Chains A and B, each alone.
Chain A
Amino acid sequence: MNIILSHLAFLFFSILILYLVRKENFSGAAHGLISFISVIFVFFITFSFHEVSNNKIVLFEFIENAPISFYIDSLGLVFLIISNLLWFCVAIYATRYLDINKYDKKGDFYIFFLISMFATNAIVYSSNLITTFIFYELLTVATYPLVTFKKDEESVNSGKKYLYYLLGTSIVFLLPAIVITYIQNGSVEYTQGGIFSSSNQIITFIALILFTLGVAKSALMPFHKWLPTAMVAPTPVSALLHAVAVVKSGVYIIIKIILFIFGIEVIKDNGAVFIILLASFTTIIASIIALKQDSIKLRLAYSTIGQLAYIVLATAILAPFSILAAVLHLAFHALGKIMLFLSAGIIATRVNVKYVSEMNGISTSLPYTSLLLSLGAIIMVGLPPTIGFISKWFLIQGIIDADMYILVAVIVLSTILNAAYYFPMIYKPFFGPSNNTFTYKEDMFLVLPVALIGLISVVLFFTAETFIIFIEQQILL
Chain B
Amino acid sequence: MSQLPILILVLPMLLAPVLLILRNVGIMHSLVTIVLFINFFLTIILFQHVSSVENILYEVGNWPAPFGIRLNADILSVFFLIIINFMSLLCIASGKNLIEEQVNKSTSNLFYVAWLLCTTGFSGIILTDDIFNLFVFLEISSLSSYFLVSQGNYKGSTVAALQYLFIGSIAAVFILLSIGIIYMQTGTLNMQDISMKISLVDYNNSVMLALGLFLIGIGIKSAMFPLHGWIIKTYAYSPSVVTTFFSGTSTKIGIYILIRIFFDVFNNITPLQNYHLSELIIYLSLFGILVSTAYAIKQQEIKKMLALSSIAQLGYILLVAMLLIPEGITASLVHVINHSVIKTGLFLAIAIIFLNNQNIKLDDLCGLGKKYPLVMGNFIILSLGLIGIPLTAGFISKWYIVLAMLKSEYWYFTIVVLITSFMTFFYIWKMIENIYFKSTDNNESVAIKNYQIACITILTTLTIYFGIDTSLTADVAESIAYDVYYGAL
Which positions in A face B, CB cutoff 8 Å?
60, 62-63, 133-134, 137-138, 141, 148, 151, 156, 160, 163-164, 167-168, 171-172, 175-176, 179-180, 182-183
CB pair B391 A179 closer than 8 Å: no
CB pair A167 B433 closer than 8 Å: no
CB pair B390 A63 closer than 8 Å: no
Instruction: Say how far B468's CB is from chain A's closest CB, in angstroms.
Output: 7
A62-B468, A62-B470 known; A163-B437 Cβ under 8 A? no
CB pair B403 A168 closer than 8 Å: no
Task: Please name 19 pairs of A and B residues whose Cβ atoms are closer than 8 Å in the assembled complex, sorted by A.
Answer: A62-B470, A134-B395, A141-B389, A151-B437, A156-B437, A160-B429, A168-B422, A171-B387, A171-B398, A171-B425, A172-B418, A172-B422, A175-B398, A175-B418, A176-B406, A176-B414, A176-B418, A179-B399, A180-B406
- B residues 412-428 touching A (CB-CB < 8 Å): 414-415, 418-419, 421-422, 425
A63-B470, A138-B391 known; A171-B422 Cβ under 8 A? yes
6 closest A-B pairs by beta carbon, nearest first, are: A134-B390, A172-B418, A171-B422, A179-B402, A156-B437, A137-B390
Besides the known contacts A156-B437, A172-B419, 13 further A-B residue pairs in the complex with CB atoms under 8 A apart:
A63-B399, A134-B390, A156-B433, A163-B425, A163-B429, A167-B387, A171-B388, A171-B422, A172-B418, A175-B418, A176-B402, A180-B406, A183-B406
CB pair B391 A168 closer than 8 Å: no
A137 to B395, CA, bound (A): 11
Set of chain B residues within 8 Å of A156, measured between Cβ atoms: 433, 437
**Would you call B384 an interface residue if the criterion is a C-beta within 8 Å of the partner chain's C-beta atoms?**
yes
A148 to B433, CA, bound (A): 11
A60 to B468, CA, bound (A): 8
**Would you call B329 an interface residue if the criterion is a C-beta within 8 Å of the partner chain's C-beta atoms?**
no
CB pair A141 B384 closer than 8 Å: yes
Nearest chain-B residue to A134 (Cβ)?
Answer: B390
A168 to B388, CA, bound (A): 11
A-B contact count (CB 8 A): 63
If over half of B's interface residues share one DSSP class (helix, strand or loop), that class is named, otherwise mixed; here it is helix
Set of chain A residues within 8 Å of B117, measured between Cβ atoms: none
A63-B396, A137-B390, A172-B415 known; A179-B403 Cβ under 8 A? yes
A254 to B134, CA, bound (A): 54
**Would you call B449 an interface residue if the criterion is a C-beta within 8 Å of the partner chain's C-beta atoms?**
no
Set of chain A residues within 8 Å of B422, measured between Cβ atoms: 167-168, 171-172
A182 to B399, CA, bound (A): 11
Nearest chain-B residue to A68 (Cβ)?
Answer: B468
Set of chain A residues within 8 Å of B390, measured between Cβ atoms: 133-134, 137-138
Set of chain A residues within 8 Å of B105, measured between Cβ atoms: none
Nearest chain-B residue to A167 (Cβ)?
Answer: B425
Instruction: Say how far B23's CB is from chain A's closest CB, in angstroms.
Output: 47
Set of chain B residues within 8 Å of A172, measured between Cβ atoms: 415, 418-419, 422
A179 to B474, CA, bound (A): 16
A148 to B469, CA, bound (A): 32
* Chain B window 456-489, contacts with chain A (Cβ cutoff 8 Å), 1 for yes, 0 for no: 0000000000001110001000000000000000
A176 to B470, CA, bound (A): 20
CB pair A183 B418 closer than 8 Å: no
**Would you call B407 an interface residue if the criterion is a C-beta within 8 Å of the partner chain's C-beta atoms?**
yes
Instruction: Say how far B106's CB is from chain A's closest CB, in angstroms.
Output: 48
Highest count of chain A CB atoms <10 Å: which of B387, B398, B399, B421? B399
